[in-house]
Chains A and B, each alone.
Chain A
Amino acid sequence: MENSKMENENFVVLKNICKKFDDKEVIGNLDLEIKKGSLVTLLGPSGCGKTTVLRLVAGLEKPTSGQIFIDGEDVTNTSIQQRDICMVFQSYALFPHLSLHQNVAYGLKMLGISKAETKQRVDEALKLVDLEGFGERYVDQISGGQQQRVALARALVLKPKVLLFDEPLSNLDANLRRSMRETIRELQQRFNITSLYVTHDQTEAFAVSDTVIVMKDGEIMQQGSPTELYKNPASMFMANFMGEANIFPGQFDGEQININGYKTPADPTMVEGFKSGNYLIGVRPEAILLTNQGDESQRCQVNKVAYMGAMYEVSVTWQDHEILLQLNSSQFNASLAERAFLTINPTGLFLLPADAK
């Protein structure tokens, strides 16, 4: 925000966090850092503990052990009111007995801000989310998307140090989701608010985040930018969680990748840091092309074809592996069913250790 020197410092820090519910460990020894002004998303299947982490940062839960810092201050046991965070809830949690204006003004009222200033700030906030003039309405008089925007305005109006999003889009239909996530990202960047975002939807996570943290069973599996996660998954779980992946045993000799005789030059960005040797090689379905010609190592047998509209999902057998590929409608023709050879685009390849699970 005002202090650009802070830009690269860790603004929210979780150290060695453990959380147990009735002796059942939900989070085990978790470390997490969020840089100032960035939006970090916790992504993972349900029950992986991502919401618990968010609630720990909010102060709605207390960690069993470990420490939480916001802006350098230890807030581990600090009450939620004193943490300078705001939260956007999955259910929006708008107060049904208050008008939209009163809803947005609620936090300011609790802080004892003057009426005049409150009115001005609330009007600004509602304008920000395109709800100018809706102040006198009640929650049951507006649509789900509008409710979501009110919830956002209610959080933004307090100018919190940290903004928390708990699956904010999961109650919206697909079209609204796209525009809402754009709104969220735009406002977050405009005000440079450090944010933690929880979702189970990979597309949503990739669309809004600077950094995505994938969690499973209360542990962090991998973190990085969306591109890093998709292109260089660190484990079998990650490979499969980030979209579809076909996995083959193979070799990397420093320049080329060899899958049972099929050789293709490696993309240098993909194999950075890998020494030559045996690996498991992952191939993204959209990186495979089918042609009518090729050598024996490329030959494959088409088993099933499913028309999906924008593309074909094709299942083929190649080197005794059943693999999945996705072809543009223009890249597929019926003759491929008879005689097919595949080519792999090197940018759609990634390496996993040979013993990866």
Chain B
Amino acid sequence: MNDITDKSSTRHRPTPEHRDPIFYWVLVLLAGFIFLPSFSLDYGVFDSTFEEINMAMGWSSANISWLWFILPLGLLLRPRKIQNKYAKKQHWFDIVFSILCMFITLLSSWYTEQGLGYSTIVLFIGLGAVMTLAFSRMEYLGGDVFIIASLISIIILISTFIIYPSIAIFVPMFQDDSGHFVLFQFLEILTKSHIIQIILNSVMLGTSVGIGATFFGLIFAIYTTRIAKRSAFIARIFSILPIVTPPFVVGLGVTLMLGRSGYITELMVDWFGLEQTNWLYGFTGIWMAQVLAFAPMSFMIIDGAMKSLHPSLEEASYTLRANRYQTFFQIVMPLLKPALANSFLIIFVQSLADFSNPLVLGGSFDVLATQIYFYIAGAQLDYASASTLGAILLLFSLAIFVVQYLWIGKRSYVTISGKSYRGDVQPLPPSLKLGVSGLLYFWMAFNVLLYGSIFYGSFTVNWGVDYSLTFNNYINLFGMGMSEGAWPSLITTMTYAGIAAPITAFFGLLIAYIVVRQQFRGKKVIEFSTMLCFAVPGTVAGVSYILAFNDAPIYLTGTAAIVVISMVMRNVPVGIRSGIAGLGQLDKSLDEASLSLRANSLKTITHILLPLLKPAILSTLIYSFVRAMTTVSAIIFLVTPETRVATSYILNRVEDGEYGIAISYGSVLIVVMLAIILIFDFLVGDTRVSRSKATNQE
């Protein structure tokens, strides 16, 4: 992406006497053809033999790749010198011809079943550069090369890695085992009684988890905004916990407490003569684990809404003779309705997409996410069914996303933009206060027990049978040398997350910048399709990546690249949101001042925005790193034994029933990630102070 932009800046726009740089770009893409393999390598560039690389070179034989690179030579039929902005025909020809070249390349690669190789990256960059130059010469977007190039790159990347896979997931629905088109196969699949049951299960679970988690989220939000003194601290815990907790861990923790051999279950058996020790597995267990996991998320949404309620509204209500209950239920609650609805919908989708908790606690209670996983990872390898269920899950999520967008949203990313108000508020009714505090303390106590059990459990020999302390789990994980146990997966995870985080931050910030600061037609479309990343459930993303990138034209399955790309695409919304929040605090006139002082937009970004956004960028880096480490749903479909990451290692231990090892690894990850975040908080603390000074004075 950078390659296009570094080349030129608006200030040093070449004068018309120079030779048109498009000639050089065509040379660059020809160089790509000569020096890089044009076809994908089955074993990657490092593990391929010289002969295999030679075979992949486009010029080594007569093949389709000659077409890919000869076609762009059509661009050479042009005047030697740069055409001015009035030569509209020439510029439109360049643009349309470049797009045509891209399409022909993709289509012919798909048709001949020869995957695109490295040289085609150069080809696409070259064609993108030609389009950029053409747009800039027509003075589109002020002729700013950087903005145009970014926009074209974003469009290409979003189409490739979000839109194309989302469409690809629908294809196997209509294909039978031998690849023939069958129109109504999906109806057959959907009308099977156990599939209907699974869909009902998922919807029922999602609804009740949505209600439960939103209820607790509301309780916490009331507590932190209206009751607690040190609310920032509690809010911080709620925001960190879900991020640093790897998947499976909450589910396993609940098992340790309430499962067949859980200590609470045993207490109940001893004291109350409980006979049914299996009650946790199924709907109840999943519900508990998901409410535990998602309530903090709901809290974040509702807390923001409550903080933006101005206390004068309540004060006005009191002066109008309403008592505290009337005020709370007739003023505060109705004003929170959009936030509550928003929270419910988001949690509903999260619950549908979650597959780690149902896997651990589901028993015979199957949901969409786990069923999809079994279809693909299990022995059945039933792509048609996986695709059908994936499509259902995707359609559910998209429908909810659209509802949110039209009904609640309208404010795009910046869901809570009201100024938060912290000050004296009238106290809540005493009984409500008591109830809220009580529930919160219960929740806290439960969480302390839960995480305590996890850590304690990781040091026991065999939970429920032999509670004596041991380091065996950790020795199994980390004491067997660097190529055994958990080390390979931990190192792989760190490496991938380390590569993905800066890309996520860069890409997210760039999109944020374009969405917030630039005006152009079709901006809404860009905004909408990046928000689609939110909407696509992880499980669906994983399946769709397998289906989309398992074959020509883009053959990535099994590579590290696809894992990193999936980490980036899953977390880009986080980068966008923090970029938007950060940019929102910087007065737009700062950019404009810089632009009016002869800086182009690239220089404005590097000299003005980046220094001022440093804290936001650092936190995006850290959070996308941590989130990439704990991501499971999409990754699980994409990893191979060579690219196995920490979460998939834990999954395998869970599948083998080695819970002790799984929670030990989970504990290590929690500690490591907590340390990363806390150290970061400590280091950035100073920067935050100086930034509050830095915000431009009104």
Contact = CB atoms under 8 A, between A and B. Distances in A.
A91 B608 contact: no
A82 B11 CA distance: 8
Interface string B598-610: 1110010001100
A114 B210 CA distance: 63
Interface in B683-698: 693-698
Contacts of A164: 596
Contact of A79 (B143, B603, B611, B694): B143
A80 B595 contact: yes
Nearest to B586: A96
Contacts of A107: 597-599
Given A77-B142, A106-B594, A91 B589 contact: yes
A12 to B, nearest CB: 15
B232 interface: no
Given A60-B592, A79-B143, A96 B693 contact: yes
Contact of A96 (B143, B599, B600, B694): B694
Contact of B11 (A78, A81, A90, A158): A81
A59 B519 CA distance: 13
Interface string B578-602: 0000000001011011111111100
A60 B588 CA distance: 11
B592 A93 contact: yes
Contact of A89 (B592, B600, B693, B695): B592
Nearest to B587: A91
Contacts of B590: 93, 95
A91 B588 CA distance: 10
A106 B85 CA distance: 30
B10 interface: yes
Interface in A132-150: 139-140, 144, 147
Contacts of A90: 589
A16 B125 CA distance: 40
A116 to B, nearest CB: 19
Q: How large is the interface on A (under 10, 10 to 19, 20 to 34, 35 or more residues)?
A: 20 to 34
Interface residues of B, number: 30
Contacts of B11: 81-82, 110-111
Given A87-B592, A91-B698, A93-B587, A158 B598 contact: yes
A331 interface: no
Given A95-B608, A97-B694, A82 B594 contact: no
Interface in A317-356: none
A81 B602 CA distance: 12
B591 to A, nearest CB: 9
A112 to B, nearest CB: 8
Interface in A59-116: 59-60, 62, 77-82, 85-87, 89-97, 106-107, 110-111
Nearest to A76: B139
Contact of B596 (A87, A94, A95, A144): A87
A139 B697 contact: yes
Contacts of A85: 596
A111 B696 contact: no
Interface in A191-219: none
A90 B608 CA distance: 18
B612 interface: yes
Contacts of A89: 589, 592-593
Interface string A167-205: 000010000000000000000000000000000000000
A60 B519 CA distance: 10
Nearest to B143: A79
Contacts of B598: 81, 107, 110-111, 158
A14 B10 CA distance: 24
B649 to A, nearest CB: 44
Contacts of B589: 89-91, 93
A357 B690 CA distance: 55
A194 B607 CA distance: 29
Nearest to B610: A97
B607 A106 contact: yes
A154 interface: yes
B4 to A, nearest CB: 18
Interface in B528-576: none
Contacts of B603: 110
B144 interface: yes
Nearest to A164: B596
Contact of A91 (B85, B611, B693, B696): B696
B524 to A, nearest CB: 11
A81 B595 contact: yes
A60 B597 CA distance: 12
A60 B142 CA distance: 9
Nearest to A83: B596
A144 B696 CA distance: 12
A87 B696 CA distance: 17
Contacts of B600: 79, 81
Contacts of B696: 91-94, 96, 139
A110 B589 CA distance: 18
Contacts of A62: 142
Contact of B10 (A79, A86, A95): A79
Interface in A39-66: 58-60, 62
Contacts of A154: 593, 597
A278 to B, nearest CB: 50
A77 B138 CA distance: 9
A97 B695 CA distance: 9
A85 B598 CA distance: 9
A106 B589 CA distance: 15
A89 B587 CA distance: 11
18 contacts: A78-B142, A79-B600, A81-B11, A89-B592, A89-B593, A91-B696, A92-B696, A93-B593, A95-B608, A95-B612, A96-B696, A106-B597, A107-B597, A110-B598, A111-B598, A140-B694, A140-B697, A158-B597
Q: 10 smallest A-B Cβ distances: which pairs? A: A107-B597, A93-B593, A96-B694, A93-B589, A79-B142, A77-B139, A110-B598, A89-B589, A110-B599, A87-B596
